[in-house]
Amino acid sequence: MTTDKVKPKLIIHGGAGSSLKGKGGVEAVRKSLYQVLEEVYPMLLAGASASAAVIRGCQLLEDDPRFNAGTGSVLQSDGQIRMSASLMDGAMQRFSGVINVSRVQNPIFLAQSLQSSGDRVLSDYGSAELVRELQVPIYNPLTDIRLKEWMQERDENFVKEMAGVVAEKELVAESNAGRGTIGVVVLDSQGCLAAGTSTGGKGFERIGRVSDSAMPAGNYANAFAGVSCTGIGEDIIEECLAARIVVRVTDGMSLVAAMNRSFSESRDRGRDLGAIALDATGAIVWGKTSEVLLAAYHTGEQMGDTLEWIGDELTGFCPS
C-alpha cells in the first residue's frame, strides 16, 4: 500500500458462458456493463474507497435483471431463489459473505454488514436472521424470464445442468447458455484493492448447494491483487482459483503470469470458468476457459470489454 495517489482502476463481470445470441445480445450486455463503469469510476476519482466502489458496482449489477444475481437470479430445483455474495477488503485482508440467502434485493449489502462482525460468513439460516436484525425490507428478486426458464426445465425434468447466464427472451430456450455471476474488482486512489462477487447460483441445482461466490475460491483480495471468478462453481472451488492467483502474485509472480499459469492448469483439467483481476501496480487482467466472458473495464483513460473476445488465448490484459 502507498500513501501516494494512484490512478484508480476498475473491472467488472456479468458471468461467463458458451455464447451471446447475436450482436443485439452483445450490445445490450455492453450497455449494461458500461453504465456501471460510468457510475462507479467517478466515485473513485472523487476518493471513494475500493470497498465502497465494489459494493456500489455489485449493487448496480444485482439490480440489473439481465444478470444472474439479485434481481434476475435463477431458480433452484424447488423453484426457490437462493443467492450468495461476498466482499473482500484487500487492505484489511478481511472476507465476509452470505450463502443461500432469500428474499433480499442486494446480498452484497449483507456481506458488507458482516465486515465488522466476528462471524463473517453466514449460511441460509444465519443470513435470514441477519436480514431480520438489520430490518432489511423483504424483496422478491424473481423475474418473468427466470420463471419461464425454470418452468421449461421442469417440463423437461431438468435436463439442463444450469440456467442461462444472461436473462434474455431469445436465450430462454437456448440450452447450456452459460454460468451466471457478477463481480467487481477495484484499485482505489490510495492503492488499496477490494473484490466483490454475487450470484443466484447455477439454477435447477440441488437444494442447499453452495456456490464459490461466497468463498475465497471465488472472491479474494489482499494488498497485492484482487480476483473475482465466474463459471461453474465446483470447478472454481476445486481450483481454488481466486486465492491461488492472489497467492501467486503475493509470492512475486506478475499478475499476467499468475493468470496464465492458473488458467493453463484449469484448461488442462477441463475446467469451465473465468476471472477478472487487478494488482497493486494497476494491471488489469482477465481470463477464461469458457467461450465467452462478460467483462468490462476502465483504465482511467478509456473503457473496454471482452464481449467479443474469442479464440484460443486464455488471458488478456491492459498493462499498468
Give the model's pLDDT for residue 290: 93
| pLDDT score of 135 more than 80 | yes
Q: Where is pLDDT greater, at 153 or 66? A: 66
Give the model's pLDDT for residue 277: 98
Which residues, at least 6 apart from 12, have a Cβ–Cβ distance to it below 8 Å? 33, 36, 37, 40, 57, 61, 182, 183, 184, 185, 276, 295, 296, 297
Dihedral of alpha carbons 44, 47, 52, 56, sign: negative
Query: What is the rounded average pLDDT of the residues 150-172?
Result: 67
| pLDDT score of 175 more than 60 | no
Which candidate, 246, 139, 155, places its Cα nearest to that of 195? 246
Query: What is the rounded average pLDDT of the residues 129-138?
Result: 97
| pLDDT score of 193 more than 60 | yes
Give the model's pLDDT for residue 177: 40
Global pTM? 0.93
97-122 pLDDT per residue, tens: 999 999 999 999 999 999 999 999 99
* Span between the terminal Cα atoms of the chain, in Å: 16
Query: What is the rounded average pLDDT of the residues 37-55?
Result: 98
> Residue 174: pLDDT band by 50, 70, 90 thresholds?
very low
Give the model's pLDDT for residue 126: 97
Give the model's pLDDT for residue 155: 80
Q: Where is pLDDT greater, at 310 or 304? A: 304
Give the model's pLDDT for residue 156: 74
Residues 52, 178: Cα–Cα separation, whole Å: 29
> Residue 18: pLDDT band by 50, 70, 90 thresholds?
confident
Q: State what percent of residues in the chain have pLDDT above 70.
A: 90
Question: Residue 24: CA atoms inside 13 Å, Cβ hemisphere, count?
Answer: 5
Which residues, at least 6 apart from 131, have a Cβ–Cβ distance to it below 8 Å? 101, 103, 104, 110
Instruction: Indicate which residues carry an active-site annotation.
Output: 181
Which residues, at least 6 apart from 268, have a Cβ–Cβ distance to it below 8 Å? none
Query: What is the rounded average pLDDT of the residues 50-66?
Result: 98
Give the model's pLDDT for residue 171: 45
| pLDDT score of 319 more than 80 | no
Give the model's pLDDT for residue 4: 74
> Residue 241: pLDDT band by 50, 70, 90 thresholds?
very high
Give the model's pLDDT for residue 1: 45
Which residues, at least 6 apart from 191, have a Cβ–Cβ distance to it below 8 Å? 1, 2, 4, 6, 280
Work out whether strand 94-101 and strand 121-122 pair parallel, antiparallel, or are unpaired.
Answer: parallel
Residues 284, 297: Cα–Cα separation, whole Å: 8
| pLDDT score of 2 more than 70 | no
> Residue 176: pLDDT band by 50, 70, 90 thresholds?
very low
| pLDDT score of 57 more than 60 | yes
Averaged confidence pLDDT in the chain? 92
Q: Where is pLDDT greater, at 24 or 248? A: 248
Q: What are the grid coordinates assigned to 268, written together?
A: 488442462
